[in-house]
Amino acid sequence: MATTAKTSATTAATQTRSRYPGVVLAVFGVYSVALGLFMLLAPGPFYDTIGAFGTRNDHYIFDNASFELPLGLMMLAAFQWPSWRVPTLAFATAHWALHSLSHLIDTDHAAGNWVGWLEAGGLVLTTVLLAIALRTSISDDKTGEP
């Protein structure tokens, strides 16, 4: 009886772990698509609420949107096609790590330095969540999990 309970607990933990990358891909995919569309369709409000670092430059906001939107679409595709998960999560983790570094170097947000540090902290946390999903996906690939 104890062996059966232990096996059931291990199976449940494995299934939960294996679902984690899919959840991360879905959540951050939707977030990236929404953020990219926000930048494309409303650069002024985007700058005023999120991107108030330095002087407003719509060209750079559109450039960032042209990256963020396809990244989100790629993450949503990887949710559907498991063979895309490791490369997509590796790319997304690298993106968020570099974005985090940028915010750790420049915390001078127009709403105050504390907002810059808060954004940097959120980006670092996001990078960690993506890295965990990446590691889980790599492990799932090795064990043949979906």
Is 7 a domain residue?
no
Counted domains in the chain: 1
Domain that holds residue 102: 18-143
d(CA 24, CA 26): 5
pLDDT 10s digits, 43-94: 999 999 888 777 899 999 999 999 999 999 999 999 999 999 999 999 999 9
Is 134 a domain residue?
yes
d(CA 107, CA 56): 16
Indicate the pTM of the whole model. 0.80
Is 12 a domain residue?
no
Total Cβ atoms within 10 A of residue 125 = 12
Quick one: pLDDT at residue 146? 55
